[in-house]
C-alpha cells in the first residue's frame, strides 16, 4: 500500500511538471510588452532619422544645385557662342515688363572683296559708284552660298548702313565653291575701309519669358526694321521657330552696352533658376566685336 501511494505521488508530480513545461512553452508577449517595444523602436527610428535626415537632404540639395548650375551654364555658353559670331553692330536689345529680348544677326562666312582691278583681264572689282555692279571677286578662299543667304558690307547699325532696314544688305545668288559672288539689287551705299564683307543668315533672338519662366531661342523669321518688342510679337512672326534653352527661371535679365569702332560692346546676362529648395544664380559677360 505504501508503494502504491508513492507511485501515485510520483505520477502526479510528473503530470504537474509536464503541465508547467507546456505553460512555459506556450507563454508569449503581453500587450504591454508589445507597446513598450514598439515605443522604443519608434524612438530609436526617430533618432536615426534625425541623425541621417539632414545629410541626406543636403546631398539631394547639392545634386539639384549641380544640375541647375549645369543647365544654366550650358544655356549661357550657347548664347555666348552665338553672340561672339554676331555681325558687328547688329546686337540690339529691348525689354517688355520683366522680359528681356536680345536680337542679333549670325555670320555664316566672311572675306574681302576685290576693290580695284589688277593685271588680269578677268579681275572683277566691286564698283560702289556703279549701281548696276552686282558682282565681285573674292580675295581668298572660294565660297559656297545659297540664295537664302544675305551679303552685308560695312554695317554701322545706323540709318543708311543698317542690316535690319536693309540699306547695306543684299540677297546672294547661289554659288558653289566660287571665287565670284553676285547679288540682287543695286550696289552698296558705303564701301568698307578694309574691303570686308559678311555672309549672314536671318536674325536670331534670345528672349527671357518670365511669364512661363523659360529662356527661348527664336530663329527662322525675316529681318524686321524695328526689333520685335514682346514675346507675343515674336510668336506672331511668319515662319518663326522657337526652342527652349532653359526653364524654371526665377529671374532673367539681359543688358547690352553698345561699343564704338575702337572697342567692343558688352552683353551682360544674369539668370537665376530654382527647383524645389535648390536655387542658383549665374552671370555671364560677353564681348561683342563691333568693328565692321
pLDDT tens-digit profile, the chain (292 residues): 444 545 554 555 555 555 555 544 555 667 777 777 787 777 776 666 666 656 666 656 677 788 888 989 999 999 999 999 999 999 999 999 999 999 999 999 999 999 998 888 889 999 999 999 999 999 989 999 999 999 999 999 999 999 999 999 999 999 999 999 999 998 899 999 999 999 999 999 999 999 999 999 999 999 999 999 999 999 999 999 999 999 999 999 999 988 665 568 899 999 999 988 788 999 999 999 888 8
- Return the pLDDT at 77: 93
- Return the pLDDT at 22: 53
Classify 135 as helix, strand or coil.
strand
Is 104 within 8 Å of 203 (Cβ atoms)?
yes
**Residue 98 neighbours by CB distance under 10 Å:** 12
Q: Which sign, positive or negative, has the C-alpha torsion 186, 192, 193, 197?
A: negative
- Return the pLDDT at 65: 81
Which residues, including other chains, have CB under 8 Å from residue 252's CB and lie 6 or more apart? 100, 208, 210, 215, 270, 271, 272
Using alpha carbons, select from 76, 68, 65 the residue that is nearest to residue 253.
76
Is 220 within 8 Å of 241 (Cβ atoms)?
yes
Residue 176 Cα to chain centre, angstroms: 34
User: Which grid coordinates are listed for 220?
Assistant: 527662322
pTM over 0.85: no
What is the DSSP code (8-state) at residue 120? S
Amino acid at each position: 500500500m505504501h508503494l502504491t501511494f508513492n507511485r501515485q505521488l510520483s505520477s502526479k508530480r510528473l503530470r504537474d511538471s509536464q503541465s508547467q513545461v507546456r505553460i512555459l512553452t506556450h507563454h508569449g508577449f503581453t500587450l504591454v510588452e508589445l507597446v513598450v517595444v514598439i515605443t522604443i523602436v519608434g524612438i530609436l527610428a526617430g533618432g536615426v532619422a534625425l541623425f541621417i535626415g539632414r545629410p541626406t537632404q543636403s546631398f539631394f540639395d547639392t545634386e539639384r544645385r549641380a544640375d541647375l548650375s549645369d543647365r544654366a551654364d550650358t544655356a549661357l555658353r550657347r548664347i555666348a557662342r552665338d553672340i561672339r559670331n554676331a555681325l558687328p553692330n547688329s546686337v540690339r536689345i529691348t525689354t517688355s515688363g520683366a522680359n528681356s529680348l536680345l536680337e542679333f544677326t549670325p555670320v555664316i562666312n566672311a572675306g574681302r572683296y576685290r576693290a580695284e582691278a589688277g593685271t588680269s583681264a578677268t579681275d572683277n572689282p566691286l564698283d560702289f559708284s556703279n549701281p548696276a555692279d552686282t558682282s565681285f571677286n573674292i580675295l581668298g578662299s572660294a565660297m559656297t552660298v545659297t540664295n537664302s543667304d544675305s551679303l552685308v558690307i560695312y554695317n554701322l547699325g545706323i540709318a543708311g548702313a543698317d542690316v535690319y532696314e536693309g540699306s547695306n544688305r543684299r540677297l546672294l545668288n547661289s554659288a558653289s565653291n566660287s571665287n565670284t559672288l553676285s547679288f540682287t539689287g543695286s550696289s552698296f551705299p558705303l564701301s568698307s575701309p578694309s574691303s570686308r564683307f559678311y555672309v549672314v543668315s536671318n536674325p536670331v533672338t534670345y528672349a527671357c519669358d518670365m511669364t512661363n519662366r523659360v529662356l527661348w531661342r527664336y530663329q527662322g523669321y525675316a529681318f524686321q526694321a524695328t526689333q520685335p518688342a514682346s514675346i507675343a510679337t515674336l510668336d506672331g512672326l511668319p515662319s518663326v521657330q522657337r526652342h527652349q534653352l532653359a526653364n524654371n527661371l526665377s529671374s532673367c535679365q539681359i543688358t547690352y552696352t553698345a561699343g564704338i569702332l575702337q572697342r567692343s560692346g558688352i552683353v551682360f546676362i544674369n539668370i537665376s533658376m530654382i527647383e524645389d529648395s535648390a536655387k542658383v544664380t549665374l552671370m555671364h559677360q560677353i564681348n561683342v566685336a563691333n568693328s565692321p
